[in-house]
């Protein structure tokens, strides 16, 4: 059996679609950095082939992940394609199997380039959807690929995909349907349910912005909101913009844990590094990119976490 493990956002879905188009057949499984090890352990059998796209490596499970990567690659094909910063203390060349890693491009671009000899040229637009969804459409590849298409069409389709997926957060069967649809190089807007969900999400997002204006809180250089009515990643961006702080944070309380997205537009701040360093001293798991990252922290440590973020901001400035 062949598996494709992917993140469920626009970059992850388009990466999975490109990989599926290239290999022909695979089981699609959506996961995230915190859950990757358990999902591999519970599903992959000896001799299975595995492709992982757009999933960062979580420091808390790093040794276990390396062990299971070795086990998979020893009995089957193992391909890891990602663009998140490497874990502290680990070089990506130390990982077993085939590793494609570059922080300067989105996972969809890396996936297309890796499988390019197995894909018709027009599949580059699927990679472009992922690049736009992940704010990484200014690479040399993306600029060249955009010359093959009308830019307005590509951005429209990428918008439909991004908004539609935001409106389908935990609908994994539907997301698998989207992957199959895109793997056939069909337009996102041609999938009626995706288009309707995109329209609904856009209206809901506008309503969420108005809610955030009333409910956001500011502590030092960090503005935050808990349990926004929509996407926490979008909410984090709007919180920062509305409060004009250096970091914006939005979180969803799930039992005794807060699942968060963080955003900054400050070039001096590296959220990925900041979160990974904090994880050494506090019960927080997180990482991602320099200006956009995710984290989870126990509810009882949330206020302390905000304080530590502020300390880190002051330390670097």
Tens-place pLDDT, residues 75-92: 999 999 999 988 877 888
pLDDT digits (tens, 9 = 90+) for 183-205: 999 999 999 999 999 999 999 99
**How far lies 70's CA from each of 37, 50, 77, 116, 192, in Å?**
13, 12, 11, 26, 42
Angle at 234 (CA atoms; ends 259, 133), nearest 5 degrees: 110
Beta bridge partners of 79: 51, 98
What does the pLDDT read at residue 144? 97
What does the pLDDT read at residue 281? 79
What does the pLDDT read at residue 157? 98
Measured distance CA(169)–CA(163) in Å, rounded: 10
Listing DSSP states for the chain in one string gives -EEEEE-SSHHHHHHHHHHHHHHS--EEEE--TTTHHHHHHHH--TT-EEEEES-PPPGGGHHHHHHHHHHHHHHS-EEEEE-SPPPTT--GGGSSSEEEE-TTS-HHHHHHHHTGGGS-GGGHHHHHHHHHHTT---SHHHHHHHTTS-HHHHHHHHHHHHHHHHTTTT-HHHHHHHHHHHHTT--GGGSHHHHHHHHHHHHHHHHHHHHHHHH-EEETTEEEEES-SS-HHHHHHHHHHHHT-SEEEEEEEETTEEEEEEE---TT--HHHHHHHHTTTSS-EEEE-SSEEEEEEEGGGHHHHHHHHHHHHHHH-
Q: Is the per-residue pLDDT at 123 higher than 80?
A: yes
**How far lies 156's CA from each of 151, 159, 163, 188, in Å?**
8, 5, 11, 9
Task: Given CATH 3.50.30.40, say whether it is the number of domain 216-316.
Answer: no
pLDDT digits (tens, 9 = 90+) for 251-276: 999 999 999 999 999 999 999 989 98
Please state the rounded mean pLDDT for residues 41-63: 92
What does the pLDDT read at residue 248? 97
Please state the rounded mean pLDDT for residues 14-36: 96
Please state the rounded mean pLDDT for residues 48-66: 90
* Backbone phi, psi, residue 16, to 5°: -60, -40
pLDDT digits (tens, 9 = 90+) for 212-246: 999 999 999 999 999 999 889 999 999 999 999 99
Q: Is the per-residue pLDDT at 37 higher than 90?
A: yes
Q: Is the per-residue pLDDT at 6 higher than 80?
A: yes
What does the pLDDT read at residue 14? 98
Strands 78-82 and 285-288: unpaired
The confidence band for 316, taking pLDDT boundaries of 50, 70 and 90, is confident
Measured distance CA(108)–CA(310) in Å, rounded: 34
What does the pLDDT read at residue 279? 81
Measured distance CA(300)–CA(298) in Å, rounded: 5
The confidence band for 305, taking pLDDT boundaries of 50, 70 and 90, is very high
- Mean pLDDT, the chain, integer: 94
What does the pLDDT read at residue 125? 98
Q: Indicate the angle between helix axes 10-23 and 107-114, nearest 10 degrees.
A: 10
Measured distance CA(20)–CA(24) in Å, rounded: 6
Task: Answer for the pair 250, 224: CB distance below 8 angstroms, yes or no.
Answer: yes
Task: Answer for the pair 168, 12: CB distance below 8 angstroms, yes or no.
Answer: no
- Domain spans in the chain, listed from the N-terminal domain onward: 2-196, 216-316
Measured distance CA(52)–CA(73) in Å, rounded: 12
Q: Is the per-residue pLDDT at 284 higher than 90?
A: no
Q: Is the per-residue pLDDT at 59 higher than 80?
A: no
What does the pLDDT read at residue 282? 79
């Amino acid at each position: 059996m062949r598996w494709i493990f992917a993140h469920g956002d626009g970059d992850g879905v388009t990466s999975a679609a490109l990989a599926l188009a290239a290999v022909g057949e695979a089981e699609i499984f959506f996961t995230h950095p915190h859950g990757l090890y358990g999902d591999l352990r519970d599903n992959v059998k000896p001799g299975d082939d595995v492709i992982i796209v757009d999933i960062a490596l979580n420091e808390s499970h790093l040794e276990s992940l390396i062990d299971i990567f070795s086990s998979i690659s020893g009995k089957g094909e193992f391909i890891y394609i990602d663009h998140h910063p490497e874990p502290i203390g680990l070089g990506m060349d130390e990982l077993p199997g085939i590793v494609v890693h570059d922080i300067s491009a989105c996972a969809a671009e890396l996936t297309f380039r890796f499988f390019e000899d197995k894909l018709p040229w027009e599949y580059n637009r699927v990679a472009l959807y992922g690049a736009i969804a992940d704010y990484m459409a200014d690479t040399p590849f993306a600029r060249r690929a955009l010359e093959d298409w009308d830019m307005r069409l590509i951005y429209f389709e990428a918008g439909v995909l991004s908004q539609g997926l935001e409106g389908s957060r935990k609908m994994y069967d539907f997301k698998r349907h989207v992957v199959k649809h895109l793997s056939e190089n069909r337009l996102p807007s041609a999938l009626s349910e995706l288009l309707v969900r995109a329209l609904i999400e856009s209206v809901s997002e506008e309503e969420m912005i108005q809610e955030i204006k009333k409910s956001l809180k500011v502590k030092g250089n960090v503005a935050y909101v808990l349990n926004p009515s929509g996407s926490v990643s979008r909410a984090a961006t709007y919180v920062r913009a509305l409060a004009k702080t250096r970091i914006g944070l939005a979180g969803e309380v799930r039992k005794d844990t807060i699942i968060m997205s963080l955003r900054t537009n400050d070039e001096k701040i590296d959220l990925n590094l900041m979160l990974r360093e904090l994880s050494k001293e506090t019960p927080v798991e997180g990482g991602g990119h320099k200006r956009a990252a995710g984290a989870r922290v126990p509810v009882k440590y949330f206020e302390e976490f905000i304080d530590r973020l502020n300390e880190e901001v002051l330390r670097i400035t």
